[in-house]
Amino acid sequence: MDFTPERLERYSPHILLNEVGGAGQRKLFDARVLVIGVGGLGSPAALYLAAAGIGTIGLVDADVVDLSNLQRQIIHATPDVGRPKVDSAADSIAALNPDVVVRPYRQHVDEDNIRSIVRDYDFVIDGTDSFAAKFLINDACVAEGVAFSHGGVGRFRGQTMTVLPGRSACYRCVFGAPPPEGAVPPCSRMGILGAVAGMLGTIQAAEALKFFTDTGQLLVDTMLTFDARDMKFRKVPVKADSHCAACGCRTAKAGAPEAGGGGPDAR
């Protein structure tokens, strides 16, 4: 996209940053980000990515908007109840920034379709609420060499890490395999302070923007956790596992550390 007077005004806060500037903003224009799950995490992430001028945003979600979603899923509004989430989110993005091209996928990701979807993007935001989906996203992104941000929330807590396939630990390095089905209840059953999802989703969006503009230090080989009750944040180092079923061979060739890390997934 060209820098029209309107775009110069819209994106001037980015352009004024030495770390971003006009060149960085052009990289954002050219970027393609896939948001899987347009819920508590995907809502703020998608809105901030759109506001930043990410050129193409893919939205994956098979669900419709429910009234209980509105406590935290801020990309949707009361009149959207009953509408497909991808349609509601696409309308919100268009209203916020008409520069952005939105690609809606009203479907669940599964082993048959996820790699064909992921490979069309440069970065993935994991906004899902099940362990099975998180491992599926991890394995597909590692196989396709697509960077992604893991995110998980529950009650008052959140956690996130950024994965650069072949260069860092992946989600499976840290957690190995999904827990037994039903062992960890979803937010709809355990509850969540709505703003906690906003905090985590915004961090995920920031990681994507840093990735494209090559700014600062990503949450690579690091799990960031926080508890909003006392606003304590913690960075936990994690390491690639040379025996990881998803990335072991790749990270070993890249010279990554061999020991695995661990910790509880709050989502």
Element (H or E) spanning 227, and its range? strand 222-227
pLDDT confidence of residue 247? 94
Q: What is the pTM of this model?
A: 0.92
Q: Which two tokens stand for residue 160?
A: 């996130």
pLDDT confidence of residue 260? 29
Residue 45's contacts (CB-CB under 8 Å, 6 or more residues apart) are: 35, 125, 127, 201, 202, 204, 205, 208
pLDDT confidence of residue 161? 98
User: Which positions are catalytic?
Assistant: 187
The domains located in the chain, with CATH, are 31-253 (3.40.50.720)
pLDDT confidence of residue 253? 47
Residue 42's contacts (CB-CB under 8 Å, 6 or more residues apart) are: 35, 36, 59, 61, 75, 89, 125, 127, 201
pLDDT confidence of residue 250? 62
pLDDT confidence of residue 181? 75
Extract the residue ranges of the chain whose pLDDT is less than 50: 252-267
C-alpha span between 36 and 50 (Å, rounded): 15
- Helices 85-96 & 42-52 angle (0-180, nearest 10): 30
Q: Which of 109, 115, 165, 104 is nearest to 133 (CA)?
A: 109
